[in-house]
Amino acid sequence: MRTTSTPTHCPYCALQCGMNLSPLPSGGVEVTERADFPVNRGALCGKGRTAPAVLSSRVRLTSPLVRSEGTLVPATWDEALDRIAEGLRRTRTEHGPDACGVFGGGGLTNEKAYTLGKFARIVLGTSQIDYNGRFCMSSAAAAGMKAFGLDRGLPFPLEDIPRTGCVILVGSNLAETMPPALRYFNELRENGGTLIVVDPRRTRTAEQADLHLAPRPGTDLALALGLLHLVVAEGRTDEAYIQERTSGWEEARAAAMAHWPEYVERITGVSVPQLREAVRMFCEPESAMVLTARGPEQQSKGTDTVGAWINLCLATGRPGRPLSGYGCLTGQGNGQGGREHGQKADQLPGYRKLDDPEARRHVAEVWGVDPDSLPGPGRSAYELLDALGTDIRALLLMGSNPVVSAPRAAHIEDRIRSLDFLAVCDVVLSETAALADVVLPVTQWAEETGTTTNLEGRVLLRRQAITPPDGVHSDLHVLHELAARLDVEEGLEKGFPTDPEEVFDELRRASAGGTADYSGITYRRLAEENGVFWPCPAGGDGGSGHREDASPDAPPYAFPDVHPGTPRLFLDRFATEDGRARFVPVSHRAIAEEPDDEYPVLLTTGRVVAQYQSGAQTRRVDELNAAAPGPFVELHPRLAERLGAAEGDPVAVVSRRGRAVAPARITRAIRPDTVFMPFHWPGEGRANTLTNPALDPTSCMPEFKACAVRLETVRD
Ligand code: SF4
């Protein structure tokens, strides 16, 4: 155990708040303020403050478990690893490499995500790898790639937000999901800027807004089109910018002009005067931003929905201008880095495409393999989970809990149960781990070193602060040992080092020249700087000592002999072939499952402040459980009255996929045609039992945010 405090980062969301971990005389560690990290300046939410509770052996796994006569029993590491190797080898021999699936997580460090992708492709030889980040921000990623040729959550640092003129925040309840970020929006308003929040619910975030637009769930595509229509009709487009920096405007303009404000009002429920007011607030200031989150993204038309908001930004000349543009508030701790380095079905490290021959050649050379030996793109996350027990017979899963977090979760749970073999690496016995044939207890944030990439594209170093408990090893150790056991060519495990810095140095080479170029970032730099923004190619800046894209009051850069990183993207050109941003013409369409006589109400899902994602970690923290002990159904008083339900009464929510029961929480903060359920809990109140896996055709994002349900009272 170290005796001094260690500066590091929170294990949970994409803000990646800085914190110090200080050893306690009684053992264990406490979180203390780390004011020098600019993203959160010492502020933390309850999840971050209580994160050390999950380090306690009271709640976590400290021994491998293997299934024996139907029960998980303790085993040695060698027994457990041998069993996994045998399960994967047998599957590969009997059914071929694509019968082995790999499922990763947006919480894995860059080093783990990189190694997991490499393991799948060169040890197992499978194309069947994806991760739960697909459920988080893949629609924004796809829309960003289409429009800008590059996907980085925010193309500017959070510090730009207070200095812009107006922010439209679409489908983000950051007052609950990442509370320390709220200060940027408070400062925006203190500086005279305005905040528009688009959300069907009057959330804690919406309460802070100057204007709250509450569209019917699944209609924000129409809302964005209606705003763009008004921008054109009122002559508020930036014609010079459109001419100089974009392509495709005429088609996008024509599509928007078909969405008359009155038509949009009928679709969304947002009145024409509100639409006009939003356009005025957004267009009048010199600078403005649109930020999206899961609301517009988790739809079967999420890519088009985000595309419509990007079109609004482009038509008003925002992206690539100071203090302006479009950004996505990523969700998971390493949701950004996790999608850059190869655990996504269609990607190689550096945000390279798996079907690009040059990308295959480059990465294969770094890995020391024949490019032709690399499998092609595989299935997206839901499609992969849906194929379990059919043509995918064995699964290696790291850092994910799909029994709670996947859409149509009862079906996915059945698919997982039908596997021939399941191995799970986790810190706790999650609902998915409880179904496994082998469970490996792995180290977590404070017990290991590794990098993550936050929502700004800032690469960060999480430092090891404490020694892991006996019986626990890192995910990198697991992959090294499995590579050795599954080796078809002697020495393959040497390509799977257990030292995270060694992995990172290889990742740098694999990413060099790619879109997400990390080659100029080193652990030493990360230890001395408060993160480095990608792209950061190896090489200098000519010795100027200043970041060209830094704010004017930024101090001289400390490392003039290396690339300073890129806090602000697109200032000169976009990452497309011709350097222009692309308008993508989009039109309103319905969600996959509109309400009808049988299922007349809309369900939308989301998070609460005291729990995180599937709750596997946070449901093990007493303080968080006291604040958020279980699921609930939020509904409007009019709907409650029609149902005959009082506050706290159990309410059954029924969709075409199943039934969930949770207490009623009656509030005027939600539309009368909509109910809301948080998705952190398993069992009877599992919200994802109900959700619709209808996929976006581009991003393969499931439609978590809107499906048709009916409500029933529960007698017993
Ligand atoms: Fe951790 Fe996110 Fe809370 Fe910050 S806002 S303390 S990163 S959970």
Residue located nearest, by CA, to atom 1 of ligand 1: 48
Could you tell me the distance, in angstroms and rounded to a whole number, from the CA of residue 664 to the centre of ligand 1? Answer: 28
Cis-peptide into 535, omega within 30 deg:
yes
Indicate whether residue 52 lines ligand 1 (CB < 6 A): no
d(CA 433, CA 398): 10
Is 288 buried (19+), middle (13-18) or exposed (0-12) by CB count in 10 A? buried
Q: What is the mean pLDDT of residues 634-663?
A: 97
Kindly report the length of the chain.
716
Indicate whether residue 16 lines ligand 1 (CB < 6 A): yes
Helix (H, G, I), strand (E, B) or coil at 595: coil
Indicate whether residue 180 lines ligand 1 (CB < 6 A): yes
Q: What is the mean pLDDT of residues 319-331?
A: 94
> What is the distance, to the nearest Å, from the Cα of residue 528 to the centroid of all Cα atoms in its chain?
27
Nearest atom within ligand 1 for CA of residue 9: 7
User: Residue 459 to residues 110, 275, 518, 700: CA-CA distances in angstroms?
Assistant: 9, 38, 9, 26
Indicate whether residue 47 lines ligand 1 (CB < 6 A): yes
Q: What's residue 125's pLDDT?
A: 96
Could you tell me the distance, in angstroms and rounded to a whole number, from the CA of residue 100 to the centre of ligand 1? Answer: 34
Pocket test for ligand 1, best of 8, 9, 10 (most atoms within 8 A of CB): 10
pLDDT tens per residue across span 215-237: 999 999 999 999 999 999 999 99
Q: What is the mean pLDDT of residues 397-417?
A: 97
> What is the distance, to the nearest Å, from the Cα of residue 107 to the centroid of all Cα atoms in its chain?
9
Q: What's residue 543's pLDDT?
A: 37
Q: What's residue 560's pLDDT?
A: 53
d(CA 531, CA 509): 19
Residue located nearest, by CA, to atom 4 of ligand 1: 17
Give 67-81 as a 3 state SS string: EECCEEEECCHHHHH
Pocket test for ligand 1, best of 17, 172, 455, 608 (most atoms within 8 A of CB): 17
Residue 423 confidence (pLDDT) above 80: yes
DSSP designation for 102: E
Could you tell me the distance, in angstroms and rounded to a whole number, from the CA of residue 47 to the centre of ligand 1? Answer: 6
d(CA 518, CA 565): 9
**Domains, in order of start, for the chain:** 136-328 (3.40.228.10), 601-713 (2.40.40.20)
**Bridge partners, residue 708, by sequence:** 602
Nearest atom within ligand 1 for CA of residue 15: 7
> Which tokens in the block code for residue 326?
């479009």
Indicate whether residue 9 lines ligand 1 (CB < 6 A): no
Q: Which long-range contacts (CB under 8 A, 24 or more apart) does 310-313 make?
A: 310/143, 310/144, 310/147, 310/148, 310/584, 311/224, 311/228, 311/252, 311/256, 311/583, 311/584, 311/586, 312/224, 312/227, 312/228, 312/231, 312/282, 313/289
Q: What's residue 90's pLDDT?
A: 97
Could you tell me the distance, in angstroms and rounded to a whole number, from the CA of residue 44 to the centre of ligand 1? Answer: 6
Q: What's residue 546's pLDDT?
A: 40
Residue 453 confidence (pLDDT) above 50: yes
Could you tell me the distance, in angstroms and rounded to a whole number, from the CA of residue 609 to the centre of ligand 1? Answer: 10
Indicate whether residue 13 lines ligand 1 (CB < 6 A): yes
DSSP designation for 119: I
Name 369's Cβ contacts closer than 8 Å, sequence gap at least 6: 122
Could you tell me the distance, in angstroms and rounded to a whole number, from the CA of residue 644 to the centre of ligand 1? Answer: 39
What amino acid occupies position 404? V
Q: What's residue 2's pLDDT?
A: 56
Residue located nearest, by CA, to atom 3 of ligand 1: 45
User: Residue 56 to residues 8, 74, 565, 687: CA-CA distances in angstroms?
Assistant: 18, 18, 37, 29
Name 30's Cβ contacts closer than 8 Å, sequence gap at least 6: 21, 22, 24, 52
Range of weakest confidence among 16-20, 204-208, 711-715:
711-715
Residue 488 confidence (pLDDT) above 70: no
Helices 357-367 and 500-511: crossing angle in degrees, nearest 10, is 150
Of 482, 478, 495, 401, the closest CA to residue 442 belongs to 478
User: Residue 714 to residues 539, 631, 664: CA-CA distances in angstroms?
Assistant: 66, 16, 11
Name 484's Cβ contacts closer than 8 Å, sequence gap at least 6: 492, 493
Nearest atom within ligand 1 for CA of residue 51: 1
Q: Are strands 450-453 and 458-462 parallel, antiparallel or unpaired?
A: antiparallel
Could you tell me the distance, in angstroms and rounded to a whole number, from the CA of residue 521 to the centre of ligand 1? Answer: 24
Q: What is the mean pLDDT of residues 490-504?
A: 88
Is the CB of residue 50 less than 8 Å from the CB of residue 23? no
Nearest atom within ligand 1 for CA of residue 49: 6
pLDDT tens per residue across span 260-270: 999 999 999 99
Could you tell me the distance, in angstroms and rounded to a whole number, from the CA of residue 202 to the centre of ligand 1? Answer: 22
Q: Which residue has the tokens 């080479």?
A: 509
Helix (H, G, I), strand (E, B) or coil at 593: coil
Indicate whether residue 404 lines ligand 1 (CB < 6 A): no
Nearest atom within ligand 1 for CA of residue 179: 5
Of 309, 281, 334, the closest CA to residue 140 belongs to 309
Pocket test for ligand 1, best of 9, 40, 44 (most atoms within 8 A of CB): 44
Residue located nearest, by CA, to atom 2 of ligand 1: 13
Could you tell me the distance, in angstroms and rounded to a whole number, from the CA of residue 545 to the centre of ligand 1? Answer: 32
pLDDT level of residue 493 (50, 70, 90 thresholds): confident
Torsion-angle region of residue 269: left (phi > 0), alpha (psi -120 to 50) or beta?
A: left
Residue 666 confidence (pLDDT) above 90: yes
Of 180, 179, 172, the closest CA to residue 196 belongs to 172
Pocket test for ligand 1, best of 47, 204, 455 (most atoms within 8 A of CB): 47
Nearest atom within ligand 1 for CA of residue 19: 6
> Which tokens in the block code for residue 159?
């510090």
Residue located nearest, by CA, to atom 6 of ligand 1: 48
Indicate whether residue 114 lines ligand 1 (CB < 6 A): no
User: Residue 44 to residues 40, 181, 204: CA-CA distances in angstroms?
Assistant: 7, 10, 17
Indicate whether residue 31 lines ligand 1 (CB < 6 A): no
Q: What's residue 81's pLDDT?
A: 98
Q: What is the mean pLDDT of residues 564-592?
A: 96
Q: What's residue 544's pLDDT?
A: 38
pLDDT level of residue 492 (50, 70, 90 thresholds): confident
Name 574's Cβ contacts closer than 8 Å, sequence gap at least 6: 147, 148, 149, 150, 245, 319, 320, 580, 581
Indicate whether residue 178 lines ligand 1 (CB < 6 A): yes
pLDDT tens per residue across span 296-307: 999 999 999 999
d(CA 326, CA 248): 18
Pocket test for ligand 1, best of 33, 41, 45, 158 (most atoms within 8 A of CB): 45
In the predicted model, what is the mean pLDDT of the chain?
94
Q: Tell me what percent of the residues of the chain surpass a pLDDT of 90.
A: 90
Q: What's residue 339's pLDDT?
A: 87
User: Residue 142 to residues 238, 304, 312: CA-CA distances in angstroms?
Assistant: 25, 9, 17
Q: What's residue 270's pLDDT?
A: 98
pLDDT level of residue 331 (50, 70, 90 thresholds): confident
Nearest atom within ligand 1 for CA of residue 48: 6
pLDDT tens per residue across span 30-84: 999 999 999 999 999 999 999 999 998 888 999 999 999 999 999 999 999 999 9
Residue 606 confidence (pLDDT) above 70: yes
pLDDT level of residue 171 (50, 70, 90 thresholds): very high
Cα–Cα–Cα angle for 677, 395, 70, rounded to 5 degrees = 85
What amino acid occupies position 120? A
Indicate whether residue 17 lines ligand 1 (CB < 6 A): yes
d(CA 102, CA 117): 9
The model's pTM is 0.94
Q: What's residue 542's pLDDT?
A: 36
Is the CB of residue 82 less than 8 Å from the CB of residue 438? no
Of 290, 280, 271, the closest CA to residue 216 belongs to 271
Q: What are the percentages of helix, strand and coil residues in the chain, rounded to 5?
A: 35, 20, 45
> Which tokens in the block code for residue 258?
């078909």
What amino acid occupies position 505? D
